[in-house]
Structure 1
Amino acid sequence: MNPSLRLRASALSLLLLALILAVWHVATLAPAAVAPAGPALTAEQLEYAKLMGKDPASGAGAATAKSGFPTLAQMATVMRQHLSDPFFDNGPNDKGLGLQLAHSLGRVGLGYLLAAVVAIPLGFVIGMSPLMHRALDPFIQVLKPISPLAWMPLALYTIKDSHTSGIFVIFICSVWPMLLNTAFGVSSVRREWLNVARTLEVGPLRKAFQVILPAAAPTILTGMRISMSIAWLVIVAAEMLVGGTGIGYFVWNEWNNLSLPNVIFAILVIGVVGMLLDLMFAKLQQAVTYVD
């Protein structure tokens, strides 16, 4: 990218961030409003108001209400608390955000690795064999549109372990983009390159690794990049369902505790980690892409 263009893009991004923070600050200002005297709220009404994010204050004919959405100062305090000790462990429902994030990344990594072990070799077979493509395509087209979370009840019933079920859900959602992109990349290798390999009597294994794999690598990495994005998206929802540990469970647990600042901070962490994972695969994709 042109250095001047990169500089202008960074400046525009910072400007947009400043605008978002300014809107957030203005929207969460606590206006003091003087209300006419009215009947006192019962204990049930006070509790309901607090659950709805409002904090009614009693006074001599005056009431002050504020928005339940956290201010920037409150978010800064929450961020400092989480980042100062991200790996504490005080029991099943009280673990640091870093520890929860590590559990989620572990599940995603294992399920994703299993999907790659299955999808990439099978994609090679489908891409190199029209017969296998026609035979397996109906099964792929039926299974591919099924939501990964739809497999969760079946996984919990058969596997009977929430941790392993989460890994299975990551596997099932990661396998299809890798499989289809690998098959497409292998089948799209230039015919002249394959003809040269055939003329030189190159063996099937050597042809696969030295001719087909380098040519199909950018497309394969595209499928792996898409799979990782989907896997990180799905693990949050899966952990909300199965509970226990993980960043998704952390979000759901903090919502049940009515801790909106913790929920928002966890959402930001999910987005940043997803961006970093995508950037990692983007760099790998650039490394294997050849420019004519």
Structure 2
Amino acid sequence: MNIIETKNLTKNYGKNRGIQDVNISVKEGEIFGFIGPNGAGKSTTIKTLLNFIYPTSGSSKILGMDIVEDSSKIKEYIGYVPSEVRYYEDVKVKDIIKYSKSFYSKIDQEYVDKICNELELDMNKKMGELSLGNKKKVSIAQALIHSPKLLILDEPTNGLDPLMQNKLFNILLKEKEKGNTVFLSSHNLTEVQNLCDRACVIKDGKIIDIIEIEKEISKLSLKITLTSSDITKEIILGLSSKLLSNKENSYTFTYSKDIDTLIKEISKFKIDELLIEKENLEDTFLDYYKNKEIE
């Protein structure tokens, strides 16, 4: 079953960029990444899906319901974390959580307490006393309190320290284990690689491709960095068709053959430094993102 399904979803802003003919489907129980730099159309897509702004054309369904006609019903089953969070400064955290709970008929208080504890919320603090990261934690707790079938996150880790990011990732993986679905918008490709089952790449308001993360990882090559005054650029190109960088006597390139073959080849030369690591999706997607043509 598809939790989200769009058909040529379009939002025009006149001269300003919106989104054009967005076609995506998000399966039940998966963590789906939505990748793109700032201004690519991620937030516009999400706001259109949530019926905060109306589509110019096209259509979309969430949980089988139309995003415009059934907007109120849909919101009973989803949790949303915006990229930017704003609150009244004099309101306490505990009152925000209490108010959020009032929108839902069935709340598991034990689960709410657990989420608030995991996110280390200071319930008696006023929102105006909180940092950006702590405000973001409150918005995450709000989105989770009713254990939604679909969680939509727009750049959720902005403002979070690394430890809290890891706690959020664990929470999302637990949601997946429960059969719930996560739609994760991010420009952090490492984040997407570690969490997502599939990812959609958006550029200039258009979908470039949809990638299965596990398959993409299996295609990754080795990333080699070596420094040697004996080795020339031509020798490197004989070992690899993709030279990533070349500064003086230092070369970084990809390598897809047997590592034993590489060691035997470069052992003929005096090597000053050698670093062998696995490529990651950030390397792959950054290159892909720069060079992929939109049809």
TM tier, smaller: under 0.3
Q: Which has the higher strand share?
A: 2
- Larger RCO: 1 or 2 (CA < 8 Å, sep 6+): 2
> In terms of Rg, which structure is larger?
1
